[in-house]
Structure 1
Amino acid sequence: MTAVVHTGFASPASLLRDWRERQDKAPLREFLVLGHTADRPFPEAVAGPARALGARVAVLGDAGPAPREAADVRRAGRDHLHGVASCHGAFRPELALLLGDDACRVAIGPGDPARPGGGVEDEPWTVVATDGGASHPVLADLADWLEALPDAVAVTPWWADHLRHLADLLTELHCEAPPVEPEGPVVELAHNLREPLIDRLPTGPVDELRLYAPSADPTGEILRRLCDRLSPAEVVLGIRPRRSGHDAAGLRDALAGHPAVRIRELAGTRARHGKLAEWRVGDTWHALTGSPDLTGAALARAVGDATGASGAGAEGPARNCELAVLVTGTTPPPPDDAERRAPRGAGVTVPRLSGGYAVGDLFRDAAPARRFEQDVIRLRELAATDAGVPTVADCRRSLGAELTEAAFGPLAADDEDEPSEAGPSTDPGAGAEEGGASVLPDSARDHARDWIGGLARRLAREAAEGETGDAPTAGGRPWALSTTLLVTALHLRLLAAGAWDEDDYGWRAVTADLLRALDATDQDPPEGQRRRLDAVIAVCVSLLGLHGDIEGPEADPVAAAAWRLGRTAAARAEPHHAADLFLPPGRRGAPVATGADVEDLAKRARAVPDPVAEAHRALDAAHLSAAYEAGVWELAGEFSNPQAACAKAVTLLAGLPDGLWPGPVLARAHARGTGVPCFMAWSRPVLIRQRGRQWTAFRISAPATPLATFQTGAPRPTAQGDQARRGLGPLLDAAGLDPVALFLHLQQAPARDVRPAR
């Protein structure tokens, strides 16, 4: 009999897979998933594997989100039980329950398990695992919660019966079993059916409070209440700068006056669903983690507040239905501040691979390759460190020496913190031998192509989702720089080893995907890692340019796109930073790059004019001086007509020859004396203007320009106020700018150059 509690990267799909791989082949009787968006295709994706194990599958979600397509849930009622719950707020418990005859798995997490992509282990979940008929206190608490849930939220009668049936099974099979001393931290179930979650927290003082959630109340009220209750000596708030759900003014007001507050911008991975309140008393860490955001609806109210009745018809402010765990005795972060991690689930420190890997084994054997793929998915959290991008020593502790050398090449041997016993050779022929073999066996080629192609597509897709915000979970780029460099290095070794036939150009799509993923990193890596990144990008562009022109009327589309994407990095590239990737071909026609290729590409890229330098020259010629800050051209001096100055600047920069500035142009001009400053964002035909606190949108079609339009009179706006401000979002996405960073920049009043304005 065993009972184990752990916090790690998991998902309902991974729990099913682990159950399927049990050596005792024990059947699964019940599989329950609760999530906010359970009307997506996810239920059908997990129903088959769960039913194959013998389970009845039930998925319950919030009644608010509309189904994407009726066909997405066409098997509801046949392959699985599908239902919705309603309350005076959002139905937000995130739970997976797997129930067998003498084994049970309860997973409570921060990510929506039933959203698209919810089958990926990329969120930290607290998992209680019991075997041999053992019990755990969380199981009894969960049985009570399932029993009470139908009285607190509105569900159909047959769903109420099913939830109570599961509560009875939990009680019969597990809760009445003899107690077993559990392994892992002390965990208690926490919910808000009868009392607010904030009331479950202790009263202070505490030594440190760490908070993170994708969303927080704009007023910052819940932050104030948490600080008042816990009385922390130090407060750390983690935010994602890109598409964060935090209001800057609300944060400032909520934390104003506290003597020790730090707001940490987490690394540029996508905005995770993770939610965390973590506090320290002495050397002991405690955490509340699960579904609740930092909002009053999640933390400050109970489902039965106001009338004490259930259902969506109860009056009063929104009251979500939330589920969480209280964890005591979590692992503290390392003492070295340079290695301290931003706030995240249960104080987890640097994640590590589950085992050692030899590069050659990944190419030949599907089993270690599959395990490695799951490991690197888990290692995405390595991107979120307080100090920014982790050091090479951090990566070596996570990836192991051989994979770190594959990712960083000469940089791995140059690391001073933890030098490797034998750094990688820069001999062009040595890399192939270290990678396992200079020629890939025929039996391994199909597997190698499929495996690396799948990884590359995933990196590129999720990077694109983070940039555009199209995905429900988007909001940042999800992959650590070290992981992307590693996968790219493995791909280049496979190319040299002959994974593709001479006349098979499928490798170009894989290379292009990896190039997009490399370009998508918005982290600020140390100089050594930046040089490695530039060199690897140059190698990829060189390879794609082998079979087509990168410029001109006859340019190959794939090569031309790679050139546009990687030209700036290629201009900085130095061949010796990618010496380990200049490999001899293992088969005839295997595509490889050489140091001379990268050097030639760098010279060609450096001959292309720098857009920012050309923009400065054009502005100076027009008697406008400006500084380029946070993506905004800040015009120097004070103007009697700042609107005209802005219009002149954006017209001039958008019209630079040869498309040197192809994207949106943003400019701001300050007014003389007590006048109102002006900000403009222009990308034909849309112009967004801010004057003081007023936002206005205009449509200016060719051949008209902003300069001509505002010189001849006041054009008619197409939108005003919040509607106009929302139109700024697509322009910022096209320019690759962070809305939160821009907002904070525009709130600042930079020192003005008081030279006479023209």
Structure 2
Amino acid sequence: MTWEFSSPLTLLGGWRDRADAADLHELLLLGFTVDLPFLEKTLVPTARVLGARVTVVGDAAQGLYDPVDVRMAGRAYFHGLAACRDGAFHPKLALLIGADDVVAAIGSGNPTMAGWGYNDELWTVLRGRVSHAPEGLHQLGEWLGRLGGVVSMPGYVRELLQEIAARLGEFQVSPHPTRVLGNLDGGLLDRLPSGPVDELRLYAPFVDGNGRALSRIVEHFDPVRVVVGVQERWSSYDGDVILRALGGRDAELRLLPERRPRHGKLLEWESGGSWSALTGSANLTASALLEPAVAGGNCELGVLAPTSASLLPEGVSAPLTRLRGRRTVRPVRARPTLLVLGALLTGTGMLQVTLARPYDIAVTAEVSPDGSPGSWITIGTIAAGTTFQEFAAPEAAGAVVRIVDPRTESHTESPPVFVVHPARCARRRADDDRPTLRHAYAEEEIFTDEELARRFRYDLLRLSDQLAERRTARPGTARTPAASAVHDRWAAYLDECERAVGRPLTLALFGRAGMPDPSPGLRWGVTADITTDDAEEPTDPAGEAAATEMTASQRVAWQRWIARAVSRTVPGEPESPLMVRILVARLFVQLLAHGVWDLTDDSWRGHLARLTGGLMPGRHDDLPVEAVEQARTLTAVCMGLLRSGVALTGGTPADLIAARTWRAVRGVIAEVNAEAAGDLLIPPVLPRAHVLGRSEWEGLLDLAADHDPLAPVVSELAEDGLELEYIDGLHRVTGRFRNPVPVAARIATLLEDHLETALVHAVADGRWAFVAWRRPHLVLAVAPLGNSWRVYRVDQPATPESRLGGEGLPQTGLIGRAVRLGQEPPDIARQVLAQVGIDHVLLLRRLTA
């Protein structure tokens, strides 16, 4: 049926005006020639407001735009190009998909002002619901899923088409006579029912100059009568060729109105009173109707459907002799020799460039901010025989890329493509109204501008609370898409962080990799200001502002705020997003470097310990690997600051905080790269600065990487001049000490967290002491002082070190009496040794050897 539909813009307007205000999820446009500035004015803004992910794909050699006029490609929608082996990428499709609805327009109009506004086009519209959709929509999905295997296109475009195809496959099929046909691996004409038919009618703006296609069509349908429509002014045909192809059959020449170009393609036939029609993109040419795309033909898309009446417009009948000697075939414009299909910016900051085909020479890749004259710079070379290359040259999303043949004096170059940033082109999220900071704060501002710092402190706590509440109220249930070019999770995460906390703080947290400048930058134009290098002042490398010491009131304000920030961001439930927690951790590191706490003030340690233990992803965090690595790095830096100036084996409050945190995060730190700390290793410039030096950082990582759980004990004992060895079940400690008893007791205390039973032998200057420690029993053998076995009961919170750390041998907790070494040890001593499989006689021989 025909109705008031005029172009895909009608479909979009209808979706916009729906009473249910349903979101639009996908909008896919395929065309031969594509006018991007036209689409950016008429379609893209509306589609994006409706929530759609917009994808535009055209023939690599047919772009109708100057790059300086394109503003949104790569930043607001996916743009890519396609290339067939020898033919043209020629389908015309507008596909709109929502949560429950789908609308597809398949026809003849390119996404240009002419194709959607001026020309006389022919469209077929298919509509479906998730519960019932015509079979043609499933056939369209199958065609989209296979398209990237036959037609050359960038990987990200192929993935987009496969995702859309999968989405169409989710709609339930309802019987319908309409069929969607393609020619990927077979000619379109061979997919149509054959004749004989009563009448054949056909029209296309382009008819083969050699008549091959028209002859095959007539042969295929074997019609009684043929009606050929032409526009004498607009159609491209050879009249003598048409006459020969008709072969003397009863035929009518219908001259169609010339008011505007008729660009619609129509092949229809009547048999037994019923009409059927093939509409779509295919002209009456061999490359469109006879040859499959895989064998060098065009890539075409059509719809075969029954119709209630003929679709060929009325016109003026004329004798066939009017065609004789008339030829309007236009010369075919040569295709560019170099073609680039797409450029993608990955989350790691790599620029991926895809060529249409391998070339027998190395070609040069060039980029420009906007494609303006004189703005192109070379970023590298793509080797001969390859179609894909990555460059470590991150450019702004929306930057323009082309390839150039360096051999030619005329500077042969490809049509341009636009760098695509997947995160910025993604479909609008359901929570795009999520909270954000009210200002794009920068680190240097919040530490130097007291008023801005006050606003920032309030703003970040507000954001943390709102995001935590949102995560609890709206737990994530959607399946995370697999990592791919389209779904670059790292780039998407950076974009999410930038939306929440602003670009400056996101750059501070993660660096510039994968973060293109979202602004279009300076645009070229005839009114651009002219500047000269002579006007620039020389830069004084020593002119950077020196770090400024905070006032006492600023220090107090930051101390109080960071305590609240830790309690608000790492409370357990509700849990703030990881981006907020690592931002607070980075600020904590900066505050320590700014000397916010006196060197004798350890009040910060408890807060930093709590934060350090809460930096790794929680149950609500579904994060890319790069974000987890950053969390690991900050965990390690914070642990390094906690370890600075304390002993993991000590007994002071600061020692215990560090030791407890170390046990919790050591496994995390073991996987950190030594070069990942970056600007978190801050020089001690300001008074009272607590900072982590390079040697301390590397020592921390070495300690974490040591698989021996006693590595921290061995390391700290070495700093005290003690050497700990493990020999046949005994931990033997030697060094410069006079009394071995407190040394053995200290080692046994340190080993308690790692061993159920600790056996320690301390030896120095002819004196030795042996301690067997299995709570609550402490067995002591010592010589020559005492020369006896002793057994103590040591209950919590006492330790071997607290019991034996003084002078002499204590009586507190002593069980029974001391037994001389030559005699059998007390029963409890023998039981403790037996539990670890040690005979007391053989043990004494080792101790006295």
Normalising by structure 2, report the TM-score: 0.36
Greater per-residue helix proportion: 1
Computing the radius of gyration from Cα coordinates, the structure with the larger value is: 2
User: RCO greater where, 1 or 2, for CA within 8 Å and sep 6 or more?
Assistant: 1
